[in-house]
Amino acid sequence: MSTALKLLVLGGLANVVLSFLLGWILSAHRMKGPMEPHRWLLIAHEVSLQEGMLLLALSIAAAYARLPSALATAAAALLVAASVFQDFSGIVNWLRRTGDQFAERSTGWKLASINAVLNTAGLAILVVGVVRGVL
């Protein structure tokens, strides 16, 4: 298994584990009070699960990519790093009691913005490799 595939699989699994941990924390808070103060925690829980599934799915796509090993590894590293920024954007917004992250330009919004840049670069590299490998 290539380094790129290992990164994507391990990153995906780490995101799924994080989602379950956040789910436990969210459940503990919800047993004591209303949902609204924990809206960002719910978002972080859902996003980390989505990020995990995305990375695991991309590991399948990456298996078809025709790229130099270093470039495939860079794409995978960018995608995994992007997921970390996205995961922590919701957690930071929850901890800082952010309302509207866009209006506030919160730290969570900044982390999510970094995620967008890293994901765009990683996906662009991976798409080129997969297209080359499939066609």
10-41: pLDDT as tens digits? 999 999 999 999 999 999 999 999 988 899 99
Q: How many domains are there within the chain?
A: 1
Model confidence pLDDT, tens digit, residues 57-90: 999 999 999 999 999 999 999 999 999 999 999 9
Burial of 70 (0-12, 13-18, 19+ CB in 10 A): exposed
Specify the pTM. Answer: 0.95
Q: Which domain holds residue 52?
A: 3-134
**What CATH number is given to the structural domain containing 10?**
1.20.120
